[in-house]
């Protein structure tokens, strides 16, 4: 029974490309048709419960079965397997649009209501789950120069991950429209790459905040090694607590942190940011976002990767910020930039497989690469992208046109 069900389930999902499935009984099913550009993958299910787990929750069931070695990939790799499934149902597949069924409305509404609140008391625990697993893993995966764990910017002529992350920093710095002597707040500062970059290129003071103890320690170490510790400081503090102290900053930058805020806290986040800004302040928010309307976090990601995380729709982000009288002065959509970034991280993990396994184990490596593969597919064929949103408290603070952004960005790029 399970073989026929999984056969029908995957058969509906795969029209182009080829998936060969070998069941525990030894039977082999060939699904789909070879097609140019579509992967050909062969998998083996080691026990009869795998099919049941996949049918109950496709992403969580498949993810856990792959982590546990109960799904064995015999041709191709996990990136190609996930890509094959996503390519057959791209977000922008076109066709006639129909309203969702009443049952789906109820189901989606219940899932949406269950989204984590991510209150202050749980935020540090959620952040530690992902970022305090060890700096060495991130050293092996990310660009060594800046250790940027967020979408890079693949500008024209950029070919390497290092170049793309440097281009991202320049792109964001240009949008901040910095002036000498200003005070900058970096919310979710990671390992200090953004703060160090701004301190090196502009005569400004930068204060980075994080909830990860391991990130804090390495950020301070990297700032000292870069010779900018006199202009850069880091602190283990929640943005809500910092806002409560009444401090003010000329600029705020936040890259890859908003996804951890949690939907019910969006308005609180923007109110805190508005209160942290001076009356002439400017903010640049870089975040993953949905192309469509609000959604839910899948069970695998919520359980193993980003507990408490939520990817916002642009409509949710703007609606929350509007309530704090923040003016959206510039919005840019990065469509395929994160897909290219994730593929570079995946390649680094493949190249450093033995080192990652020695740090953790095979199960962790399979979990991590399944996460990267799923994320890549979401940005290549699913409904995910990145947004850079520039905010200002005063409509007269920034120049009237965007020309200043290109001019500053060009001056920051290596010649």
Give residue 414's pLDDT: 74
pLDDT digits (tens, 9 = 90+) for 347-358: 999 999 999 999
Name the token pair of 302: 């919520």
- In percent, the amount of the chain with pLDDT more than 90 equals 83
Supply the mean pLDDT for the chain.
92
Give residue 299's pLDDT: 93
In the predicted structure, residue 119 carries a pLDDT above the cut 60: no
- Confidence category of residue 93, pLDDT binned at 50, 70, 90: confident
Place of tokens 């080829």: 18
In the predicted structure, residue 239 carries a pLDDT above the cut 60: yes
Report all structural domains of the chain as residue ranges with CATH numbers, in order of start.
2-87 (3.30.1050), 120-412 (3.40.50.150)
Predicted model pTM: 0.92
Give residue 48's pLDDT: 87
| 18-32, 128-142, 362-376: least confidently modelled range | 128-142
Rg (alpha carbons) of the chain, rounded to whole number: 22
In the predicted structure, residue 95 carries a pLDDT above the cut 80: no
Between 8 and 185, the more confident residue is: 185
pLDDT digits (tens, 9 = 90+) for 294-343: 999 999 999 999 888 899 999 999 999 999 999 999 999 999 999 999 99
| Distance between CA atoms of residues 108 and 149, nearest Å | 30
| Cβ-based neighbour number of residue 56 at 10 Å | 9
| Distance between CA atoms of residues 372 and 369, nearest Å | 5
Can you say whether the dihedral through the CA atoms of 145, 151, 155, 160 is positive or negative?
A: positive
Between 123 and 342, the more confident residue is: 342
In the predicted structure, residue 367 carries a pLDDT above the cut 60: yes
Give residue 116's pLDDT: 46
Q: What angle do CA 332, 336, 341 make, to 5 degrees?
A: 110
| 58-67, 130-139, 175-184, 311-320: least confidently modelled range | 130-139
Q: Would you call 403 exposed, middle or buried from its count of C-beta atoms within 10 A (0-12, 13-18, 19+)?
A: exposed
Mean pLDDT of 108-113: 54
pLDDT digits (tens, 9 = 90+) for 125-171: 766 667 667 899 999 999 999 999 999 999 999 999 999 999 999 99
Give residue 104's pLDDT: 54
Give the orientation angle of helix 49-56 with respect to helix 2-13, to 10 degrees. Answer: 50
Contact partners, residue 33, CB within 8 Å, separation at least 6: 15, 16, 17, 18
Give residue 109's pLDDT: 56
| 96-105, 207-216, 235-244: least confidently modelled range | 96-105
Name the token pair of 6: 């999984």
Name the token pair of 99: 């309203």
Give residue 105's pLDDT: 55
| Cβ-based neighbour number of residue 343 at 10 Å | 17
Give residue 132's pLDDT: 64
Closest among 326, 312, 319 to 276, alpha carbons compared:
326
């Amino acid at each position: 029974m399970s073989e026929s069900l999984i056969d029908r389930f995957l058969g509906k999902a795969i029209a182009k490309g080829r998936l060969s499935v070998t069941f525990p009984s030894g039977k082999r099913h060939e699904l789909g048709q070879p097609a140019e550009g579509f992967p050909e993958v062969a998998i083996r299910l080691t026990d009869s419960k795998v099919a049941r787990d996949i049918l109950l929750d496709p992403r969580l069931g498949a993810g856990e079965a792959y982590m546990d070695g109960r799904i064995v990939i015999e041709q191709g790799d996990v990136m190609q397997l996930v890509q094959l499934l996503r390519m057959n149902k791209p977000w922008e597949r076109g066709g006639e649009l129909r309203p969702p069924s009443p049952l789906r409305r109820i189901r989606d509404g219940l899932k949406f209501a269950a989204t984590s609140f991510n209150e202050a008391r749980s935020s540090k625990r959620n952040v530690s789950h992902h970022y305090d697993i060890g700096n060495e893993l991130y050293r092996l995966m990310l660009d060594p120069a800046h250790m940027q764990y967020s979408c890079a910017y693949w500008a024209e002529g950029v070919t390497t991950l290092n170049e793309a992350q440097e281009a991202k920093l320049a792109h964001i710095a240009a949008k901040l429209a910095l002036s000498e002597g200003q005070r900058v707040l970096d919310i979710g500062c990671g390992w200090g790459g953004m703060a160090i970059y701004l301190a090196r290129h502009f005569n400004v003071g930068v204060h980075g905040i994080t909830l990860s103890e391991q990130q804090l320690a390495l950020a301070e170490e990297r700032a000292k090694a870069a010779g900018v510790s006199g202009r850069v400081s880091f602190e283990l503090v929640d943005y809500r607590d910092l806002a409560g102290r009444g401090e003010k900053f000329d600029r705020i930058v936040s890259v890859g942190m908003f996804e951890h805020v949690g939907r019910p806290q969006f308005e609180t986040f923007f109110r805190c940011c508005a209160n942290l800004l001076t009356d002439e302040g400017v903010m640049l928010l870089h975040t993953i976002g949905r192309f469509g309307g609000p959604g839910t976090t899948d069970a695998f990601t919520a359980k193993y990767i980003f507990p408490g995380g939520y990817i916002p729709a642009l409509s949710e982000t703007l609606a929350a910020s509007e309530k704090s009288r923040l003016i959206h002065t510039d919005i840019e959509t990065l469509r395929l930039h994160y897909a290219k970034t994730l593929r570079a991280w995946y390649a680094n993990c493949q190249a450093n497989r033995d080192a990652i396994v020695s740090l953790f184990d095979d199960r962790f490596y399979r979990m991590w690469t399944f996460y990267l593969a799923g994320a890549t597919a979401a940005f290549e064929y699913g409904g995910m992208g990145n947004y850079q949103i520039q905010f200002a408290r005063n409509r007269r603070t920034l120049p009237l046109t965007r020309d200043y952004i290109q001019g500053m960005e060009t001056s920051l790029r290596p010649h």
